[in-house]
Amino acid sequence: MFWKSEAGLGSPDFQILQAVLSPGDAVKIGLPAGGWTLIGNVVQPKSRGRIHLTGRDPADPVQIEANYLSDPDDRKAVFACLELCRETGNSSALRPYVSREVIPHNLERPELENYIRGTAFSFWHQTSTAKMGRDAMSVVDGDLRVYGIKNLRIADGSVMPRVTTGNTMAPCVIIGERAAQILRIEHKW
């Protein structure tokens, strides 16, 4: 489900997924072995992380600072998401499938904030690190060419000017198809 934390937003800012966890995974996070969960995430985060090189050797690892929920709007969206997850999970329609809410249960606001920070994770849909456009922050042009470097193009989710509302697989397929079309035309294949 895609939903808005505020009615006035132009598009949804969070997503909720239902998941049945394996008994081992459920126990690791404090759920009963037969439990299920609603998992929410911010779909157009304003928080920005950083990737740093740790050395000159291409094999050197990178340092990643995810910086999840650093923007107040993202925290607002995640709280609205959590409230909707709890309302949905505890609804009368789901009562036959729910014996009780296990986590986060009845936490007060400070403890709830700690719970959210401690359980936040990525949905692995990072995009927009080499965005397409014409402004100073853009990396590629409309033909996927990297500005300032000859014969180099980027054709993946990093060229999206902003994070998509939904999952990233379909837009990545379109970017790949467009790259193939550009190369066919340019090289007369």
Write out the catalytic residue numbers. Answer: 125
Q: Give the orientation angle of helix 109-119 with respect to helix 72-89, to 10 degrees.
A: 100
DSSP 153: B
Asked if 182 and 143 count as a contact pair (C-beta separation under 8 A), the reply is yes
Mean pLDDT, residues 94-112 taken together: 85
Q: What is the model's pTM? A: 0.77
147 contact partners, CB below 8 Å, separation of at least 6: 138, 139, 140, 141
Q: What is the pLDDT of residues 9-67, one digit of tens each?
A: 999 999 999 988 788 777 777 777 777 889 899 988 888 888 899 999 999 999 999 88
Per-residue DSSP letters for 41-81?
EESS-----EEEE-SSSTTSPEEEE--TT-SHHHHHHHHHH
